[in-house]
Amino acid sequence: MLSVKNVEKSFPIISGNGPLLALHKLSFTMKAGEFTCLIGPSGSGKTTLINLIAGFLQPTRGTILLQGRSIQGPGPDRGVVFQEAALFPWFTALQNVAFGLANQGYKGRRAREKALSFLSLVGLKEYASAYPHQLSGGMKQRVALARVLALEPRLLLLDEPFGSLDSQTRQVLQEVILSLCLGEKTVLFITHDVEEAVVLADRILVFGPRPGRIVGDFQIDIPRPRREYPGAVETWESRLRSYLGCNNGDQKYLERGVML
């Protein structure tokens, strides 16, 4: 489905130390239908990776293939939900969802009906004519999710989508995303929150500190719904936490230890 091979990304930075290396020889693959969470310290290049797969940035070296094709700029086959909702404030919730559909050639009533059905899917049918500034943070992220799901993307990229929400809203939205995506969509989900990753993911990739590279790859085998197995979740959580903790800083250990 997705294959990332020896990808490197550096940014020209005016710091005197030359370019900043954000990603270093990054390689991994994702299977279709897999829900993958990416965790790692902040500044480790997680967002850079999403921006590369989304096509907002070009890799300095290496290749990213989606179903065997290299990525040429952004497109609706890779739906992105950003950290801040990035809804268009001049459109209503419905128009925000219909915008992408119109780009795909849906017109008039067909676009409206399809947009409305996706708004209902995220539970916001009643708010179709509300403007984004009238919606709460959680509602905005629901609209942001609806507008990419409506395009039926092959790959869903979520960049800490619930990072700024309170924990209750967060749990509700985790359920929403699981019910809509699990087994149906290929998902790459970035999070800071180890518990969130354990609750959501089939597989967790762990990023080491900058330059970003994968230092751990885990299949999470807890049955779903995972919140019904708090013990198992906690075990995984502390395992990942200590993993993140002991790996912070000690570069040599990382390179000898758990490189893939």
Partner 1 sequence: MDNGFWLEGSPWANTQEGPSQTLGQRIIPCLVLLAAWQGLALLVLLLRGISFPTPLETLLQLGRLLAGSPLLGSSIYLHLGASLGRWLLAFTLAALLGMGIGILTAWLPGLDSLLTPLLVLLQPVPSLAWIPIAILLLGLGYTSTVSIIFLAAFFPIAVNTNGGIKNVNPLYIRAARMLGAKNRRLLCQVALPAALPQILSGLRIGLANGWRALIAAEMVAGTGSGLGYAIYQSRWSLDYTSAFVCISLIALIGLGAERFIFSFIEDRTIKSWGITIREDKE
Tell me which residues touch partner 1 (CB under 8 A).
54-56, 73-76, 78-80, 82, 84, 86, 88-90, 99-100, 102-104, 131-134, 147-148, 151
Q: What is the closest distance, in whole angstroms, from the C-beta atom of residue 151 to partner 1 in the complex?
A: 7
Q: What is the closest distance, in whole angstroms, from the C-beta atom of residue 135 to partner 1 in the complex?
A: 10
Nearer to partner 1, 55 or 62 (CB): 55
Nearer to partner 1, 37 or 148 (CB): 148
Nearer to partner 1, 10 or 83 (CB): 83
Q: What is the closest distance, in whole angstroms, from the C-beta atom of residue 56 to partner 1 in the complex?
A: 5
Nearer to partner 1, 54 or 254 (CB): 54
Please say whether the beta carbons of 256 and 220 come within 8 A.
no
Q: Which residues of 62-100 are buried (b: 16+ CB within 10 A; e: fewer)?
A: bebebeeeebeeeeeebbbbbbebebeeebbbbbbbbbb
Q: What is the closest distance, in whole angstroms, from the C-beta atom of residue 51 to partner 1 in the complex?
A: 9
Sheet containing 78-81: which strands, arranged edge to edge? 78-81, 155-159, 186-190, 35-39, 203-207, 214-219
Beta bridge partners of 8: 61
Q: What is the closest distance, in whole angstroms, from the C-beta atom of residue 84 to partner 1 in the complex?
A: 7
Nearest to 119 by CA among 128, 111, 110, 107: 128
Nearer to partner 1, 88 or 253 (CB): 88
